[in-house]
Amino acid sequence: MATKKTAKKKASSRATKMVYFFGGEKADGNGTQKALLGGKGANLAEMALIGLPVPAGFTITTEVCTHYYENGRKWPSDLQNQIEKNIKKTEAVMGAKFGDLENPLLLSVRSGARESMPGMMDTILNLGINDDVVEALASKANDESFAYDSYRRFLQMYGEVVMGVEQKASEHHDPFEAILDKAKAKEKVENDSELSVAALKDIVAQFKKLIKTRTGKDFPQDPMAQLRGAVDAVFSSWQNDRAKVYRQKYGIPAEWGTAVNVQAMVFGNTGKTSGTGVAFTRDPATGENVFYGEYLIDAQGEDVVAGVRTPKQVKQMAKDLPSSHKQLLKIRKVLESHFKDVQDIEFTIEKGKLWMLQTRNGKRTGFAAVNIAVDMVNEKLISKETALQRIPAEDLSHLLSPIFDGPEEKKAKKVGSGLPAGPGAASGQIYFTAEAAVAAAAKGQKVILTRQETSPEDLRGMIAAEGILTTRGGASSHAALVARQMGKICVCGAHDMTVDYSKKTLTGGGVTLKEGDFLSLNGFVGSIYAGELKTAPSQVIQALLEGNAAAKRSQSYKKYDQLIKWADQYRKLGVRTNSDTPGQVKNAIAFGAEGIGLTRTEHMFFEGNRIDAVRQMILAEDNAGRAKALKKLLPYQKKDFTGIFEALDGRPATIRLLDPPLHEFIGTMTSQQIKELAKKLKVSPAFINRRINELHEENPMLGHRGCRLGIVYPEITKMQATAILEAAVEVGKKAKNKPQPEIMVPLVAYAKELELQKAVIDEAAAEVRLKYGLKKSELKYQVGTMIEIPRAALTANEVAEHAQFFSFGTNDLTQTGLGLSRDDSSSFLPAYQDAEVVNNNPFSQLDQTGVGQLVEIGVEKGRSAKPKLKVGICGEHGGDPESVKFCHRTGLNYVSCSPFRIPIAKLAAAQAALEDAPAPKKKATKKKTVAKKKTATKKKTARKK
């Protein structure tokens, strides 16, 4: 709220600077001001400052956008004035005048949020043309065709984006396109560029008429009115559906708002010495250190990104436009050494002169992120710290995703190939629209979204798909860009294949596939296969879990391994695993787990025919019957724990006592199973049914479970404690590194519960010592609790009196803290995300504002009673990067997560530790730095345990 208010106040004050100029090697802002100027605006300023050729212009700040939404979509009073002043400056640098009838300046108007949201918001080009200016433009360029082509492009964009002309349900085509198509048909030409001037003039007239008919308003001839409309449209596009979906997916707050960049137009569509392109300073799919990009001769920028014309590789520019190519190669180096990162650039060449339109840090796959970061450290371009901080921790999951099984891929029917835009292997059923893809995914199908090209409207379908295939567009097309960012497997521009939307078919290699048929994509090399191919583990997995020597020699594994080693150097948080079997534990240790943070003992109850003994225990009507059944279970449990302790080789193991309501073990029986069980236990099926009914609960999540079972039936706790401790003793006899059992009592709400359960565990320990003739020091164990009930967090000082450790069970703490059942919330969480009540599913990413407070209170109060209390987290949030960082800031000792999340948790932990350090280079505001320093001081000691 504070930020909002401040913004409001500032924006409404007369003195506030709302517009920032750039151009002519000067700029009001700079590259650090992304929050204020948006990414694009800040970097345009920065490029101007370092002397790169940037068309002059200015940026309207994000604060103005916030003001706009907080004030019924009205402009702050001084905005118009500031814009006019900056147009004057732009005119001065570019040597042309906005709306001038001799030497007119045209403008582009583009959105630019703090984080790039490619294609999500609106853009208007060629702004400033009217019926008079078009003539001036024609005579200035000495090219009437160019002038009227620009005018008709402008009219279409303005009509659609600003004035809201839409395709009607009754129309088969966009109405502007329809006019264009008619004109082409009349002149019997195929391309827009072949149209005669007369035709273009006629089109312009028709476009203006269309606008008037559809909107009831005339197209504004006043350039300044055009600009006002365009700025409003960009602001409005911040709240369009596409932008909202995108923000949800990436957790971008609606409050950020977008900046608006108004910039002098330069034209790549002015002949054979003109052109436009996009490029990456390194390969964004693999990370390879090569200049990588595409361009089109005689085209406007949007043509490249839209993927309609297939562009040329940037290396061909050496032939086509040698001097501009040379200049670009130089700029590539300047940019990387200035920004210390891979840059994603847009450029235009107007009659031989190179203009830089944009630079930003390039989005890249997880593979590329790791490769580039490690390479740049080796090139001494960046430090290890920067390398660690730069890779989104979540992206490491790309390196663990499956690939195709080699031999099988060789045998598979190849039907086409394209650009490898998103590495990995995906098999699934093809669907040709986003809607169909979403529907199929909702039914549980794996989907390959198959399109000629994708556009922002396809976003939901791309999210739902396993993989994406396009038959048009290059590595910089929308499909490639978005897939890369999402970590989706993607092959794009498969020109040897054909999509027929009307027949719903994909044809290639002599094969025609229908909607719903299986297709497989190899996103590493761009191969496309008919059918469903088996996958194999990634190289990193093969190296780590299968000890594959070739995989260990691979660049992919080596760089991964280097990165994790760096992460281990920096992180302060321990990283443990949630694992229930010896096999899982072994994998987790291969991934670098330092112990077990959570073993769920009940999972073991379902194995083999143990469930019979469990059910016998549950159905027992007295202690004797229960004791008998528990006696049967003891050796099973002991065997489980033995395997786990052996796999751990002396690492600590937090083992949670029985947690779920007993009903879960008997509620799911079929009547046949009930009959059989009744026979085994010598009771009637009616009796079993009665017990099932008795144990039924309205809200089992809040029912008789967790330690509530152990309080009512202490004999269960005792059996489990005995099994754990006997296993520890027996493994310990043979092993060099003794097991470190940590027995965890679940669902504690009252300190007394833990006290009572601890007494039972201690009693079991005394008996185990007696049985094996051990001294007290010869059987060590800890007793602690899960903090997963708000009351336990709020009274953590009392609970800590009886605990040697806490582990935050944030799954249940989220359920209780938000009053939200994980199982039931799926029916309304999507609506909640649409309404922006929540940005993330709180079961995936910890709700730091709410549930996080309970964690903070729990840690603070727990340590107030026991300063050295060991505290961890074992909810699924333990593998979510943002949540891991929160755990670091809150002073936890460790996080625990599933084996495959361990690398991610390690990297996030290292990043959190680095965020703690006083960071001179970062763009943090002064206030933030102070806050962070404070936190850092708190936790100077390493707390990996």
Residue 787 interacts with a copy of itself (CB under 8 A): yes or no: no
User: What are the percentages of helix, strand and coil residues in the chain, rounded to 5?
Assistant: 50, 15, 35
- Decide if residue 788 touches a copy of itself (CB under 8 A): yes
Which residues, at least 6 apart from 709, have a Cβ–Cβ distance to it below 8 Å? 658, 661, 662, 716
Least Cβ distance, residue 626 to a copy of itself (angstroms)? 14
CA 532 to chain centre: 27
Q: Contact letters (x/-) for a copy of itself, 407-436, by CB under 8 A?
A: ------------------------------
Closest separation in Å from C-beta 508 to a copy of itself: 41
Q: Kindly give, in sequence order, each residue whose CB lies less than 8 Å from that of residue 92, ignoring residues fewer than 6 positions away.
A: none
Q: Scan for tokens 């490639």, then name that residue.
A: 480
Nearest approach, Cβ of residue 123 and a copy of itself (Å): 30
CB 888 within 8 A of CB 852: no
334 binds a copy of itself (CB under 8 A): no
Residue 58: CB minimum distance to a copy of itself, A = 34
Active site residue 478: yes
Q: Which run of H or E residues covers position 468? A: strand 467-470
Q: For the CB of residue 670, give the shortest distance to a copy of itself in the complex, in Å.
A: 19
Nearest approach, Cβ of 3 to a copy of itself (angstroms)? 13
622 binds a copy of itself (CB under 8 A): no
Are the C-beta atoms of 598 and 745 separated by less than 8 Å? no
CA geometry: angle 107, 112, 116, nearest 5 deg: 135
> What does 380-419 look like in DSSP terms, one character per residue?
TSS-HHHHHHHS-GGGGGGGGS-EE-HHHHHHS-EEEE-E
Three-state secondary-structure class, residue 428: strand
Give the residue, chosen from 790, 804, 891, 929, that forms a contact with a copy of itself under the rule CB under 8 A: 790
CB of residue 850 vs a copy of itself: minimum separation in angstroms? 4
The answer to whether the CB of 384 falls within 8 A of the CB of 377 is yes
Which of 490, 874, 887, 897 is flagged as catalytic? 874
Catalytic residue check, 874: yes
Decide: is 227 part of the binding site for a copy of itself (CB under 8 A): no
* Residue 336 touching a copy of itself (CB under 8 A): no
818 binds a copy of itself (CB under 8 A): yes
Given candidates 140, 309, 414, 708, which one binds a copy of itself under the rule CB under 8 A?
708
Cβ closest to a copy of itself, residue 380 vs residue 443: 443
Min dist CB 828 to a copy of itself, Å, is: 5
- Which positions ≥6 away from 737 have C-beta within 8 Å? 649, 650, 651
Please, which residues bridge with residue 422 across strands? 490
Q: Which of 478, 663, 802, 877 is the catalytic position?
A: 478
Q: Is 2 in the site for a copy of itself (CB under 8 A)?
A: no
Angle at 904 between CA 544 and CA 898, to 5 degrees: 75
Q: Which lies closer to a copy of itself via its Cβ, residue 608 or residue 819?
A: 819
Among 690, 752, 923, 938, binds a copy of itself (CB under 8 A): 752
Contacts for 763 with CB less than 8 Å, ≥ 6 apart = 718
Q: How far is CA 809 from CA 753, 819, 876, in A?
A: 17, 15, 8
439 vs 525, which CB is nearer to a copy of itself?
439
Which of 9, 824, 921, 942 is in the footprint of a copy of itself by CB under 8 A? 824
DSSP string for 253-300: -GGG-EEEEEEE---S-SSTT-EEEEEESS-TTT--SS-EEEEEES--
Position among 704, 922, 933, 945 found at the interface with a copy of itself (CB under 8 A) = 704
User: Judged by CB under 8 A, does residue 224 bind a copy of itself?
Assistant: no
Element (H, E) at 139: helix 133-141
Minimum distance from CB of 751 to a copy of itself (Å)? 9
Q: Where are the beta strands (DSSP E) in 615-691?
A: 652-656
Q: Do the Cβ atoms of 63 and 11 come closer than 8 Å?
A: yes
Instruction: Convert residues 827-856 into a mask of x (bound to a copy of itself by CB under 8 A) and - (unbound).
Output: xx--xx--xxxx--------x-xxx-xx--
How would you label 670-689 residue by residue, b for 16+ Cβ within 10 Å and e otherwise? eeeebeebbeebebebeebe
Out of 820, 919, 924, 936, name the contact with a copy of itself by CB under 8 A: 820
Cβ proximity to a copy of itself: between 593 and 789 the closer is 789
Based on CB atoms, which residue is closest to a copy of itself, 252 or 492?
A: 252
Is 937 near a copy of itself (CB under 8 A)?
no
| CA distance linking residue 73 with residue 69, whole number of Å | 5
Tokens at residue 339, please? 């920004």
Report the distance separating Cα 40 and Cα 262, nearest Å. 11
Q: Does 1 participate in binding a copy of itself (rule CB under 8 A)?
A: yes
Helix (H, G, I), strand (E, B) or coil at 552: helix
**Measured distance CA(302)–CA(72) in Å, rounded:** 32
Based on CB atoms, which residue is closest to a copy of itself, 622 or 823? 823
Q: Tell me: does residue 753 bind a copy of itself (CB under 8 A).
A: yes
| Binding window for a copy of itself (CB under 8 A); candidates: 104-112, 211-219, 530-538, 793-801 | 793-801
Minimum CB–partner distance for residue 853 and a copy of itself (Å)? 5
One of 72, 510, 773, 819 touching a copy of itself (CB under 8 A): 819
Binding mask 639-678 for a copy of itself (x = CB under 8 A): ----------------------------------------
The order of strands in the sheet holding 511-514 is: 498-500, 505-508, 511-514
| Number of residues engaging a copy of itself in binding (CB under 8 A) | 51
Residue type, 490: C
Determine which helix (DSSP H) or strand (DSSP E) holds 345, and give its type and residue range. Answer: strand 343-350
Choose the stretch contacting a copy of itself; rule: CB under 8 A; options: 245-253, 512-520, 642-650, 708-716: 708-716
- Closest distance of CB 82 from a copy of itself, Å: 31
Closest CB to a copy of itself among 171 and 836? 836
Residue whose entry in the numeric block shows the structure tokens 């991964």: 560
d(CA 488, CA 879): 20
Which one-letter DSSP state was computed for residue 219? Answer: P
Residues identified as active-site:
478, 874
The footprint of a copy of itself (CB under 8 A) covers 1, 697-704, 708, 711-712, 747, 749-750, 752-753, 756, 788-791, 794-795, 798, 801, 812, 815-821, 823-825, 827-828, 831-832, 835-838, 847, 849-851, 853-854
